[in-house]
Structure 1
Amino acid sequence: MPPFHLHLVRHGQSTWNVEGRLQGQAHHPDLTDLGLSQAHDAAALLAERVTGSVTIVSSDLVRARRTADAIAAVLGVEVVFDPDLREQSLGELEGRLTSDLTAEPTPQGTHISEVRWGGGESLEDVHGRLAAPIDRATTSDHEHVVWVTHGDTMRVALARLAGRSHREVEWDPIANGAVVSVTVPRD
């Protein structure tokens, strides 16, 4: 089977991005006016890149849902919501201001990507969680799959798609509203 194009979209700027709060899987932070504009810009870019059949799969968190809705309006397809595309859970750290946090040491003998900060998920957990949506995308009949998701989830997905482990995630910043497109072989 021919490869497909996976377009990973980071949600637009949220109210908590502006406030400097850790979002994780907090459901309710909404988009700002700038975030909505970024969602429309992502939609316009995808309209240029997507030719042929397309499906949009989105995290079910509000900031991603609102971004996906803007994209769906332009591409003319319905959105499928998938909790597997949520951001890394940060447990009790969610909602806290980043400026109020203090650095904690990584437990001896544990790689930083395997720590469940705040009682949430480790990057290893997210890496494992993304196996299912990657498999669903790979077995899709669509030429283009658009994922509307979150920054850390995108970085982990890109590592997994490149055959890298949870310990090999690249941490280059991904801007709100960014679209990263990759060609993925099918099995």
Structure 2
Amino acid sequence: MSLTVHLVRHGRSTWNDERRLQGQTVHPPLTARGKAEADGAARHLVEVVGSARARVISSDLVRASQTAAVIGAALGVRVRLDPALREQALGAMEGVLTRDLRPQQTPKGAHVAEIRWGGGESIEDVYGRVSTFVGSEVDQARSDSVDHLVLVSHGDTIRVMEAYLAGRGHREVDWEVQVGNGSIRSIPAS
């Protein structure tokens, strides 16, 4: 049996519109545009999944759980919320307007992926969190004969999950990849 993992970014939120760093801030909801993006993702997944067995798991942050609810309803499956799929915690930077950010130097001898900017999580921390989660969920999906594992999450977390699924480490996340709101990245699980 083959398993496909679908990484879905939440629809546009009010803080996306305001250009605020969201991180793990729980409450920013979807905008009307974000709801339309969730609908579009759901329609696409219905076409791809068809009558195959699917499982939907979402970050528990509002913008992701609202997106996942639309997808789950369209696929006719219950959505499970899990904090392992949250965005990178950004500590004191959460809520800051992007225009107010100032460049910071990476400390000498440190790798940028291993710094906890703003007192939040490093990319290494996020990688540890999601690699454990995704590995376990892929194994469980195979055990349960699930064909499609839909993970609704956030831009940076999706980039990290994609690195993990491709067999790359936390220092090898592809930051050039654009992960738009409501986008889906479908990856065969190896």
Shorter-chain TM band: over 0.9
Give identity over the alignment, percent.
52
Query: Shift in Å at residue 137 of structure 1?
Result: 2.1
Report what 1:181 is aligned to: 186
User: Take 1:69 and 1:80, find their aligned partners in 2: how far apart are those partners?
Assistant: 10
- 2:113 is aligned with 1:108: no
Letter in 2 for 1:182: I
Counterpart mapping for 1:17-28 below 5 A: 17-28=16-27
Report how many residues are paired.
184
Letter in 2 for 1:36: K
Query: Shift in Å at residue 100 of structure 1?
Result: 0.5
User: Take 1:104 and 1:115, find their aligned partners in 2: how far apart are those partners?
Assistant: 11
Q: Which runs of 4+ in 1 moved over 4 A?
A: none
Calculate the TM-score normalised by the size of structure 2.
0.95
Check conservation: 2:138, 2:149, Cα contact below 8 A: no
User: Take 2:83 and 2:77, find their aligned partners in 1: how far apart are those partners?
Assistant: 19
Counterpart mapping for 1:115-154 below 5 A: 115-139=115-139, 140=141, 141=144, 142-154=146-158
Give RMSD over aligned pairs: 0.8
Query: Shift in Å at residue 135 of structure 1?
Result: 2.0
Query: Shift in Å at residue 134 of structure 1?
Result: 1.2
Report what 1:44 is aligned to: 43
Counterpart mapping for 1:4-23 below 5 A: 4-23=3-22
Counterpart mapping for 1:56-135 below 5 A: 56-135=56-135
User: Take 1:138 and 1:94, find their aligned partners in 2: how far apart are those partners?
Assistant: 31
Query: Shift in Å at residue 20 of structure 1?
Result: 0.5
Deviations 1:46-76 (A, max 9, x none): 0011131111000000000000001011000
Calculate the TM-score normalised by the size of structure 1.
0.96
Report what 1:35 is aligned to: 34
For structure 2, list consecutive stretches of 5 or more residues without a partner in the other structure: none
Query: Shift in Å at residue 133 of structure 1?
Result: 1.8
What secondary structure, in the 3-state scheme, does the structure 1 residue paired with 2:68 have?
helix
Query: Shift in Å at residue 3 of structure 1?
Result: 3.0
What secondary structure, in the 3-state scheme, does the structure 2 residue paired with 1:130 have?
helix
What secondary structure, in the 3-state scheme, does the structure 2 residue paired with 1:36 have?
helix
Query: Shift in Å at residue 92 of structure 1?
Result: 0.7
Deviations 1:148-176 (A, max 9, x none): 00000000000011111111101122100
Letter in 1 for 2:16: N
